Amino acid sequence: MVDIGMSAQRKRRAQQIANRRQRLLGPVSDHGDEIIQAIEIVKAVLVKAKQEAQAYPGGDFPEESKDQQTGCPPTSTVIPKQSNTLEPEKSAQQNKSVDEEVIQMLQPKVSCQTLILDDLLTFDMGWTVKSFNMLQEIGRGSYGRVVIARHRSTGAPLAIKEPSWSDDFASPGEMVEELKATRARATKEAMVQQLLSGSPYFPKFWGTLDLGNELCQAVEFVGCKKTGTGYPLHEPPSLSMCNVVKIAEDIVKGMMEFHEHGLLHNDLKNDNVLLEKRGKRYNAVIIDFGMASSITAPPKMVRVTREIKMAYVHGGEADYIAPEVVLDEQPTSIASDVFSVGRILSDMGEIFGGHRSPAVRELSKLGAQCMADNPDHRPSLDTIHSQITKLQRLSRWRRVKRWVAKKLHLRRK
């Protein structure tokens, strides 16, 4: 039982441990020796799995069945995981196949750079990094956490993503599959980062950092490089209307480039668009390629519960994902990425509504067109780009009119 005096977070953790114990050991027994013996068996299995992961850092485990890997007798018991998010729910093997499709596609033309801990310094004090835990955490998501550091040779600030893997397994064999799938996902994301590194719409990639079980990806920090302050799209600095329209253009051109490489982003949202000042204006930079897939082998959501679908319909869950992906369980597509672009444009109309400019209203209208329920009725990214170009001319003309009016006013004085 969970003590009512615990915090909510500790209660959840204690309940997870209790649930996992019951799944692995079965109903609680009065025989303490039997429980201790079972716990020792589970510990031995976990140690073996960790040793295998370290022995095969590339994820290429010997081909064995789950029962052979764990040394356990075959069992027909399957306990489904509960999902509280609207990410495509797949088994570890299905996830791995989507990621390996991208890896296979990019392998002939992409070779990732590598880093070691000695290449890093702490961001604030410039100390040598002896342990990865010395680095300051600046963000956390469903697939891992992000820390900030500096590159020893250049002093460039780096954002380093450390992938995480679930500790909630139906069996120890499932844990091994999860480790392999996590490794494949991190490898895929690193290769996509390397592919897009030279583009102004994506962060510069500095290399992978192998920590054994975790394969981290280091990219140049996007934001204020002196203070380490990031500017996500939903928390922007003060911007002119012309700059707002240019940011919208950056996002669209970035997604056009993404698709030209045969890739789908599948997770485009306000959190995954950062702003950085380059020269006289702020630019948009698209991040987080953990859900990326090839256009030819896209993922799809499965086993989405009725409760989650109802929450989605009422705007309570992941409204940046296209309805056909959530409600009809269709695979993601270029059209679903266009829907996500539309959600961002629509949100920009609200975020920058204080400008009271026709360009803001037009951005909202364009976003609504992109979010049409029927994927066939959504405009192409080329069409969206041409519409935004017209908005740029409109914003520029309004600036000229204000400048002329100001000059005339001063002349009258």
* pTM attached to this predicted model: 0.74
Share of the chain above pLDDT 90, in %: 54
Q: At what angle do helices 381-412 and 241-260 cross, to 10 degrees?
A: 160
Of 58-72, 150-164, 316-330, 392-406, which gets the smallest average pLDDT?
58-72
pLDDT band at 147 (very low <50, low <70, confident <90, very high): very high
Average pLDDT in the 186-199 region? 96
Q: Which amino acid is at 260?
A: E
Is the CB of residue 270 less than 8 Å from the CB of residue 347?
Answer: yes
pLDDT over threshold 70, residue 229: yes
Predicted local confidence at residue 205, as pLDDT: 97
pLDDT band at 402 (very low <50, low <70, confident <90, very high): low
Bridge partners of 145, per DSSP, are 140, 162
Query: Could you tell me the residue ranges of all domains in the chain?
Result: 15-62, 86-221, 231-413
The vertex-340 CA angle with 245 and 197, nearest 5°, equals 75
Predicted local confidence at residue 74, as pLDDT: 35
Task: Say whether domain 231-413 belongs to CATH 3.40.1160.10.
Answer: no
Q: Select the more confidently predicted residue: 56 or 382.
A: 382
Predicted local confidence at residue 297, as pLDDT: 93
pLDDT over threshold 50, residue 65: no
Q: Select the more confidently predicted residue: 305 or 50.
A: 305
Q: What radius of gyration, in Å, describes the C-alpha atoms of the chain? A: 25
pLDDT band at 356 (very low <50, low <70, confident <90, very high): confident
Q: Does residue 309 have a known ligand-binding role?
A: no
pLDDT over threshold 90, residue 22: no
Predicted local confidence at residue 319, as pLDDT: 87
Helix/strand/coil for 132: helix
3-state helix, strand, coil in the chain (%, to 5): 50, 15, 40
pLDDT band at 48 (very low <50, low <70, confident <90, very high): low
pLDDT per position as a tens digit, 80-101: 333 334 554 444 455 568 999 9
Beta strands in 79-156 (DSSP E): 114-115, 120-122, 136-141, 144-151
Predicted local confidence at residue 287, as pLDDT: 96
β-pairing verdict for 114-115 and 205-210: parallel
Predicted local confidence at residue 23, as pLDDT: 46
Distance, in Å, from the CA atom of 309 to the CA atom of 382, rounded to the nearest integer, reads 31
Q: Give burial (CB, 10 Å; 0-12/13-18/19+) of 218.
A: buried
In DSSP notation, 335-369 reads HHHHHHHHHHHHHHHHHTGGG--HHHHHHHHHHHH
Tokens of 137: 């955490």
Q: Select the more confidently predicted residue: 149 or 179.
A: 149
Predicted local confidence at residue 360, as pLDDT: 85
In DSSP notation, 44-73 reads HHHHHHHHHHHH-TTS------HHHHHTPP
pLDDT band at 207 (very low <50, low <70, confident <90, very high): very high
Share of the chain above pLDDT 70, in %: 70
Predicted local confidence at residue 177, as pLDDT: 83
Distance, in Å, from the CA atom of 397 to the CA atom of 281, rounded to the nearest integer, reads 18
pLDDT band at 123 (very low <50, low <70, confident <90, very high): very high
Average pLDDT in the 209-226 region? 93
pLDDT over threshold 50, residue 144: yes
Average pLDDT in the 296-320 region? 85
Distance, in Å, from the CA atom of 274 to the CA atom of 264, rounded to the nearest integer, reads 19
Distance, in Å, from the CA atom of 309 to the CA atom of 317, rounded to the nearest integer, reads 8
Distance, in Å, from the CA atom of 93 to the CA atom of 144, rounded to the nearest integer, reads 19
Average pLDDT in the 136-156 region? 92
86-221 CATH pick, 3.40.50.2300, 3.30.200.20, 3.90.1150.10, 3.40.50.300: 3.30.200.20
pLDDT band at 388 (very low <50, low <70, confident <90, very high): very high
Nearest residue to 233 (alpha-carbon basis) of 196, 287, 279, 289: 287
pLDDT per position as a tens digit, 234-254: 999 999 888 999 999 999 999
User: What's the whole-number average pLDDT of the chain?
Assistant: 80
Is the CB of residue 273 less than 8 Å from the CB of residue 344?
Answer: yes
Average pLDDT in the 13-37 region? 52
Average pLDDT in the 60-79 region? 38
Average pLDDT in the 108-129 region? 95
pLDDT band at 233 (very low <50, low <70, confident <90, very high): very high
Predicted local confidence at residue 16, as pLDDT: 54
pLDDT over threshold 90, residue 73: no
How many residues are present in the chain?
A: 413
Average pLDDT in the 263-287 region? 96
The vertex-214 CA angle with 210 and 216, nearest 5°, equals 60
